[in-house]
Amino acid sequence: MVIPALNAGDRLAPVLASVARGRPVFDLDLVLSDGGSVDGTVALASAAGARIVVGAPGRGPQLRRGADAAVGDWLLFLHADTVMEAGWANVAAGFMASAGNVHRAAHGRLMLDDAAPPARRVERLANWRARLGLPYGDQGLLISRALYDEVGGFRPLVLMEDVDIVRRIGRKRLNALPVAMTTSAARYQRGGYLKRPLRNLTCLSLYFVGVPPHVIARLYE
């Protein structure tokens, strides 16, 4: 498992607790790919048994470094603010046990940690988009090492690294798992439940027409 992180100490503990629930199911190699945190991120992850790799910040580069350091035939990529529901490991193990899924990848179902009604709308839109073959990184990505290597892995992009890899995997090779991935709603609470999704959609549209990710990143932030 690979978690990219940067100053995530205030939200990492429940994520690591959800990861730990998978240890009775399979031998878990946890890698935290840190982008230079100056808070308690590294200490928390180390205490949870994670191996730490450190390098320049940027989710794409961090994911790639983490994948390079990870061992095993399967990789699970998880954001540092995403908590997996109880039972996730059994579902993942079932997916991994099917020989045909070596050539497939899977993601979870997005949920936000906000009871506000607009959060449900964002969830519905995100999960609909995932059914069209565009899950984002906050839904997790479970993929065999063989398929990851076949498609070229994560590219060192500052933004859209998740869209980039799932497009190379392709819709027909993506599965939705019945596992809730509860992600922080902070960016929607700050940016607005209307404005933030519209900004995200604008960024995605710019990416599809060929605008470089480093340019889009200025709008995204």
Band (217; pLDDT cuts 50, 70, 90): confident
Q: What is the DSSP string of 47-75?
A: HTT-EEEE-SS-HHHHHHHHHHH--SSEE
209 in a structural domain: no
200 in a structural domain: no
204 in a structural domain: no
Q: Which residues contact 151 (CB under 8 A, 6 or more apart)?
A: 165, 168, 169
- Give me the CATH number covering residue 40: 3.90.550.10
pLDDT at 221 over 70: no
Q: How many domains does the chain have?
A: 1
89 in a structural domain: yes
Lookup result for tokens 């959609």: 201
pLDDT at 10 over 90: yes
Rounded CA separation 111/154 (Å): 24
Determine the structural domain holding residue 154 and report its residue range.
2-192
The string of pLDDT tens digits covering residues 80-103 is 999 999 999 999 999 999 999 999
24 in a structural domain: yes
Residue 161 DSSP code = H
211 in a structural domain: no
Instruction: Judge whether 64 and 31 are in contact, CB under 8 Å.
Output: no
* CA contacts within 13 A on the Cβ side of 143: 28
Measure CA 193 to chain center.
21
Instruction: Judge whether 1 and 28 are in contact, CB under 8 Å.
Output: yes
The string of pLDDT tens digits covering residues 142-186 is 999 999 999 999 999 999 999 999 999 999 999 999 999 999 999
40 in a structural domain: yes
Rounded CA separation 122/136 (Å): 13
208 in a structural domain: no
